[in-house]
Amino acid sequence: MEEALKPDDMQEASGQNDSDDDPIVSQPTKLIRIASMTRAMLDEVRQAPLDEGGRARLAAVHAKSLDELREVLSPDLLEEFNEIMVPLNHGETSEAELRIAQAQLIGWLEGLFHGIQASLWSQQVAAQNQLAEMQKRTMLPRGADQNQDDASGLYL
């Protein structure tokens, strides 16, 4: 089973997440596969002009990719995704429209990946800070206990 990623919320990184614990992406590997496929399709479209069949195929794959992404996003991200992603016309879609739609999707996915990376980095920093604080706390009582033993006259 795939591990779910948590929202990129600074409060969560510090352990103060007030929202529910719904993952932002329920299937991260599926998200990465769709992003990789979309990037490859955009690169291909840039290299050669598309005929009518190619445009129809690209439009169908683009629509299917959007539907697949909607299945793995959290409600918050899904709302943002639906606001940003304008559906293509099912009739005549120009090559330029397809390129723009593909580039828009790649840009949104890359932004999502950067947000996840930033969240993981902030969680790592918070965990390191917490560990350092715990290490400081464990050292202080030992020193204080030794001083108390010496002051009380105990020689054991």
Instruction: Return the structure tokens found at 65.
Output: 């990719």
pTM of the predicted model as reported, rounded to 2 decimal places: 0.63
Backbone angles phi, psi at 134, to 5 degrees: -65, -40
Write down the domain spans for the chain. Answer: 10-119
Mean pLDDT value across residues 2-8: 42
Tens of pLDDT along 67-111?
999 998 989 999 999 999 888 877 778 888 888 888 899 899 888
Q: What's 3-35 look like in SS3? A: CCECCCCHHHHCCCCCCCCCCCECCHHHHHHHH
Tens of pLDDT along 31-49?
888 888 888 888 887 887 8
